[in-house]
Amino acid sequence: MHFQAIYKPQTSLNTFTPTSTGSGFLAYQGSCSPADGRREMSSERQAEICSLLQNHGYRHRGFGHPSVTLTWSLALAGGGGISCVLQDGEVFEKAGVNVSVVSGFLSEEAARQMRSRGKSLKAKDGKLPFCAMGVSSVIHPKNPHVPTMHFNYRYFEIEEADGTKQWWFGGGTDLTPTYLNEEDAVHFHKTLKEACDKHDLKLYPKYKKWCDDYFYIKHRGERRGIGGIFFDDVDSPSKEEVFQFVKSCAKAVVPCYIPIVKKHCHDSFTPEEKLWQQLRRGRYVEFNLVYDRGTKFGLLTPGSRIESILMSLPLTARWEYMHNPPESSKEAEMLEVLRNPKDWVH
Amino acid sequence: MHFQAIYKPQTSLNTFTPTSTGSGFLAYQGSCSPADGRREMSSERQAEICSLLQNHGYRHRGFGHPSVTLTWSLALAGGGGISCVLQDGEVFEKAGVNVSVVSGFLSEEAARQMRSRGKSLKAKDGKLPFCAMGVSSVIHPKNPHVPTMHFNYRYFEIEEADGTKQWWFGGGTDLTPTYLNEEDAVHFHKTLKEACDKHDLKLYPKYKKWCDDYFYIKHRGERRGIGGIFFDDVDSPSKEEVFQFVKSCAKAVVPCYIPIVKKHCHDSFTPEEKLWQQLRRGRYVEFNLVYDRGTKFGLLTPGSRIESILMSLPLTARWEYMHNPPESSKEAEMLEVLRNPKDWVH
């Protein structure tokens, strides 16, 4: 079987600590074989992010509900993968990093969705074997002045009827603030732009726009956040060059986000600001469950690990009927940018 | 234009009180013309439910957040309709009743979904004019010992290329408790069964099973609640007979639910029970955004009124990574029934 993926954790899950370097704790065997570097990137990034999260979020102060305790959970996923989730920490309400490899046959619905993106997928006996691997993370802070951050970088491979393999990379990094802070928006986008510019000056403007288009909550007429970069189906100029680009993007995650966390995690906030954050978290849930490609793919794939897929959902969210912030309020200023995305760097 | 629907509120929205009887406050004109009784049923039911909600939920005690005040909102929907929402009352966290008429052309995606249910829809110049009208309600109480209740009854009409009209009724009433109470479950199902049995003894068992199958959160392997009745695409024996059946179901809503509310709305509860309720509300959101036919249809229909469609979402919800209730707990007992639905009446 061509697409079987086996995970061999080389240290016991019980002794794994998120502060260890990622290299070597995860071994991958199988013939869905992109450069080895890809899994290294995934596991290194995961260890780096987990370590940072732990350093910033380990003090539990029981916000929200006394029975909820701080938990770092590690789980070997059914499809092959490791999820690392921090819940109800002092700085982060919920933060997860997930490395996964899934393989099997595309569901009809998943194939239909890919064809609708322009792929010609010729099935063999009605079946399309696939393999996907990636790293993803969503970080929902407690303080409404610290934005939510999401990134995901993934590699996808499909074997067609004649044995040829289609492959592509996809992913991106994006920011979802509760309140707009222009300085933070510029820092975030500038860091991503620098990562892109090392490879091709055309990439940042193209992927910035793609991000604004992709994270669009159509039924609300709003973007989920203030964007970042997003791309999918990228299969040129060469596998190696795309991989180097993806590595640069993944390496930019920490410098584009952590300074913003440090800057605002002790900002004071009002109950009204917390409430607005919870309403925005509701929109986050709407986007992820209704539109997100990765979530939809996961929900459609038999045997996929649902707790890892839905790790991206916030700890808490809120929906009020007909909530409309007053004109000229900070909340209205945020909405304006979600409705009409801005260019933050040129 | 065959499917234009016009609402003429005969009393001003400002002077409308939910305790008034519904008859006459809403007039409907147009040629999507099922028996007049249909809209009467809708508006009468709405007024009845609104009045009950108000009597039970009008005292505001600021639970959750001091800035949230009790609001009864009425809005004339874009597509034609009236939404009536109670938020943060003493008994009900969020409760809405919605009467609506939408018409226009089916989106391609909506037509595809209907065809996948076995309908042959021949389009005229690529267009399928439709008209839909219905009443729906979701009631999320505060107390975790009072279950959430949902009902929806709707009439759908599509005009095909040769001018023939396809019509059908759909709907149902279902209960979503946080904790299982067998006596309540029996009362709820028994009341629905009696309403069905007046028309045909085969209906309750068939629609009870359909309900368990429909409200299935596939990615969780759980039903949303303990069921009730559900049906769709019902177009026989005759329009009049189906309509009479639907009326009986709608009339059963109050007697099947309100006694349960009265019985438990003063039950004491622990913070842990409230937390479990919030996690179950998260599952409610998952079902509604990922699977619910009405919600999906609404999100796909251009110009539909999003606040009315998403009125069904709870005020607050919660997602914890890998939450598993201890064996033999009350929470595990609830899950067991959601995983393996029971017959409550025979």
Taking contacts as CB-CB distances below 8 angstroms, the residues of chain B near A67 are 271-272, 275
Assigned domain for A93 exists: yes
Long-range contacts of B50-53 (CB under 8 A, 24+ apart): B50/B18, B50/B19, B50/B84, B50/B97, B51/B18, B51/B19, B52/B254, B52/B258, B53/B18, B53/B86, B53/B89, B53/B92, B53/B95, B53/B97, B53/B139
pLDDT at B19 over 50: no
Residue B151 tokens read as 């009902």
Is residue B233 a part of any domain in this protein?
Answer: no
Global pTM? 0.82
Give the pLDDT score at B39: 53
DSSP string of A218-261? GGGTEESSSEEEEEEEE--S-HHHHHHHHHHHHHTHHHHHHHHH
Which of B337, B346, B339 shows the shortest CA–CA distance to B181?
B337
Mean pLDDT of chain B: 80
Q: Tell me if B71 is assigned to some domain.
A: yes
Report pLDDT for B10: 29
Average pLDDT, chain A: 80
With respect to residue A162, please indicate whether it lies within any of the assigned structural domains.
yes
User: Between vectors from CA B81 to CA B79 and to CA B85, what angle results, nearest 5°?
Assistant: 125
- Give the amino acid at A71: T
In a domain, A307, yes or no: yes
* Rounded mean pLDDT, B112-120: 84
B243 belongs to a structural domain? no
What's the CATH code of the domain at B266? 3.40.1500.10
| Residue A150 annotated among the catalytic residues of the structure | yes
- Which chain B residue has its CA at the smallest distance from A322's CA? B307
Query: How high is the pLDDT of residue A49?
Result: 63
What pLDDT score does B46 carry? 64
Of chain B, the percentage scoring pLDDT greater than 70 comes to 77
Q: What is the structure's pLDDT at B103?
A: 79
Instruction: For residue range B227-251, list pLDDT tens digits in order.
Output: 999 999 999 999 999 999 999 999 9
Least confident piece of the model among A299-308, B17-26, B278-287: B17-26
Q: What is the pLDDT of residues B30-47, one digit of tens each?
A: 334 444 445 555 566 666
Tokens read off for A294: 């990765």
pLDDT (tens digit, 9 = 90+) per residue, A225-274?
999 999 999 999 999 999 999 999 999 999 999 999 999 999 999 999 99
Which residue has better confidence, A125 or A216? A216
- Dist CA A320 CA A329 (whole Å): 18
The pLDDT score that the predictor gives to residue A108 is 83
Sign of CA dihedral B285, B287, B293, B296: positive
| Residue of B94, B285, B299 lying closest to A219 (CB–CB) | B299
Q: Which residue has the higher pLDDT, A303 or B67?
A: A303
Contact criterion met (CB below 8 Å) for A160 and A315:
no
Q: Do A316 and B315 touch (CB under 8 A)?
A: no
For chain B, percent of residues with pLDDT exceeding 90: 55
- On the question of pLDDT at A335 being above 90, the answer is yes
Count of domains for chain A: 1
Predicted pLDDT of residue B84: 82
Q: Specify the higher pLDDT residue, B306 or B1.
A: B306
Collect all residues from A whose CB is shorter than 8 A from any CB in B.
65-68, 71, 73, 75, 83, 85, 87, 94, 96, 218-220, 271-272, 275, 278, 282, 285-286, 289-290, 299, 306-307, 309-311, 313-322
Q: What is the CA radius of gyration of chain A?
A: 20
Please state, for a pLDDT cut of 90, what percent of chain A lies above it.
Answer: 55
Residue B83 to residue A275, Cβ atoms within 8 A? no
Tokens of B51: 């009045």
Size of interface A-B (CB pairs under 8 A): 100
Give the mean pLDDT of B68-74. 31
- Chain B hits for A313, Cβ within 8 Å: 282, 319
A50-103 tens-digit pLDDT: 665 555 543 333 222 222 222 333 333 335 677 788 888 889 999 988 887 777
Whether B86 maps to a domain, the answer reads: yes
Checking if the pLDDT of B151 tops 80, the result is yes
C-alpha closest to that of A135 among A173, A106, A184: A173
Q: What is the nearest CA distance from B346 to chain A, expressed in angstroms? A: 35
Considering B56, B140, B145, B150, which one is annotated as catalytic? Answer: B150
- Residue span of the structural domain in which B269 resides: 4-179+252-324
Which of A85, A272, A275 has its CB closest to that of B321?
A85
Asked, for residue B170, whether it belongs to a domain, the answer is yes
Query: B271: which chain A residues are within 8 Å (Cβ-Cβ)?
Result: 65-67
- pLDDT at A185 exceeding the cut of 80: yes
Least confident of A90-94, B301-305, B334-338: B301-305
Of B94, B307, B318, the CB nearest to A316: B318
Contact flag B317-A285 (C-beta cutoff 8 Å): yes
pLDDT above 90 for A123: no
